[in-house]
Structures are given as C-alpha cells and as structure tokens.
Amino acid sequence: MPLLQVQNLTVKFGGLTAVNDFSMNIDAGNIHSLIGPNGAGKTTVFNAITGIVRPDSGRILFGEKNLCEEAPHKIISNGISRTFQSVVVFKYLTVLENLYLGYHSRMKLNLLDEFSWKKRNSFTWEMYVKALYIADLLGLKSRLLSYAGSVPFMAQKLTEIGRALMSSPKLLLLDEPAAGLTDIETDQIKDIILRIRKELGITILLVEHDMSVVMNISDIVTVMDFGKKISEGKPEIVKNDPQVIKVYLGEKESA
C-alpha cells in the first residue's frame, strides 16, 4: 500500500478551481516530485495534505487515516511535516531553539511528568541529542547558537528543514527548497535531500522549479497543469513526454 494516497482531490477558492480531480500515490522510501508551471496547484496540494486548506471533494489517505478529517496538529503528530515556499524561521530565536520548536509534537509528557525532574531532564536531553544529530546531518552545527535571523539564507532554509525533521516525520513535504539559492547551494540541497532519505529513511514529496534537482534525485515525477495531473512516471519518461515539454519544460527552455 502506498504511504500517501491523494484521491480525486478538488480544491476551489471562490470561482477558481486550484486543484481539479487530482490523484497521486506516494510510495514509502521514494523521493517524489510534484512539478508544473506557476499557479498549477502544487502548494495547494501541500496545504490540503497538511490540513491548512480543506478540499471541496476527494480524500487524502495516510495509512488508514483520511487526513481531510484530521486537525493540522494531529497531522504532524501522525508523521507528516513540511517546509514553506517562503522560508519561515523565528528570527529572534537561535537556530537550536528553532529546531527545538519542531520537537514539541514528540512530547509525551503528561501533567504528572511535568513535576518529575527526572522525566523533564531526560526529555530535554533527548531533544538536545536529536537537534545535534540533525544539525550535523544538515551541516548546521556551527550555527546552532546564532539567531536564525542573522544566519545566511541557505542556513535559514536548512533550519526550517531541520525543524521539520525534529518531529521525526515519515513523510516530509518540501516546497521549493532550491528557490533563491546559488548553483553551489542548489547542489548542496540536492545532497541533503538524498541524505535525509538515506540516513533517516524518510519519504519525500518535493515541489521544485529547478529541473536539475527534480530530474536528478526523483524516483517519480508527477506533473500538474491547471490543477490537473498531466503526466507521471520516472524522470526520464516524464522529461520526454510531449505534453510536459509543451506546458513546462518548453516554457523553461525558451526562458
């Protein structure tokens, strides 16, 4: 069974149909990319998966659960986390504190535990060890005590990814992680995404404009246009699909 099943999803904003009868399966362990021109509906699919928008029709199954019926905070504790298209970090907290914020959903303390010095200490220690591990994986260790607002853009992006990883998700959604990065940083992001899958075994749904990233690291690519799926398959197949070339890659090449 796929890890995530999007079934006949339709999302409307007033008169505009942003996502139109869209279906997609994501298999566990895959890096699955969702691509398409601006306005195709990619972010709206992310928002529906994470409970930020409620679909007009369709279902999103994560295991047995229909996410369309879950509250957003439940979705995170069920094992899905995400980053946003524009970087969201808490500027006046350190990078380490930003990472800690992602850990709250793992918190299993009850009221009695709150009074237990031992339990609270072991919780804090586990959170710290996890943050160090993730910072190491992302190359963020030297930044941990800097304010998130003072570190370079790339490090802010990584902080956001790190925060998403702190909740130990099964599925990580990355919305345009390479946007605004230099070529060298884009290569680094590519490596980091591969490392997240390899070291943590996390399945990744990636929305990305940079075709060098998408075609290099994806197992499966789904292409959207005007809210509909127009193509899907392995990168080399999708890359050569005439319809894709027409609506998306063609547009890029002529740019």
Q: Which two tokens stand for residue 15?
A: 């008169």
Instruction: Pick from 13, 92, 125, 153 the residue near ligand ADP by CB under 6 A.
Output: 13
Query: Least separation, in Å, of the C-beta of 83 and Mg ion?
Result: 12
Which residues within the stretch 14-33 sit at the binding site for ligand ADP (CB under 6 A)?
Answer: 16, 18
Query: Least separation, in Å, of the C-beta of 41 and ligand ADP?
Result: 4
Q: Does 105 bind Mg ion (CB under 5 A)?
A: no
Burial class (CB in 10 A: 0-12, 13-18, 19+), 89: buried
Burial class (CB in 10 A: 0-12, 13-18, 19+), 139: middle
Q: Does 42 bind ligand ADP (CB under 6 A)?
A: yes
Q: Does 173 bind ligand ADP (CB under 6 A)?
A: no
Instruction: Pick from 6, 18, 36, 43 the residue near Mg ion by CB under 5 A.
Output: 43
183 membership: H or E segment, kind and range: helix 183-200
- In this structure, the strands spanning 171-175 and 31-35 are unpaired
Instruction: Pick from 3, 9, 41, 156 the residue near ligand ADP by CB under 6 A.
Output: 41
Burial class (CB in 10 A: 0-12, 13-18, 19+), 145: exposed
Query: Least separation, in Å, of the C-beta of 215 and Mg ion?
Result: 19
End-to-end CA gap in the chain: 40
Q: Select from Mg ion, ligand ADP, none the partner in contact with residue 4, using the beta carbon and a kind-dependent cut-off of 5 to 8 Å.
A: none
The contact set with Mg ion (CB under 5 A) reads 42-43, 85
Residues found near ligand ADP in the complex (CB under 6 A)? 13, 16, 18, 36, 38-44
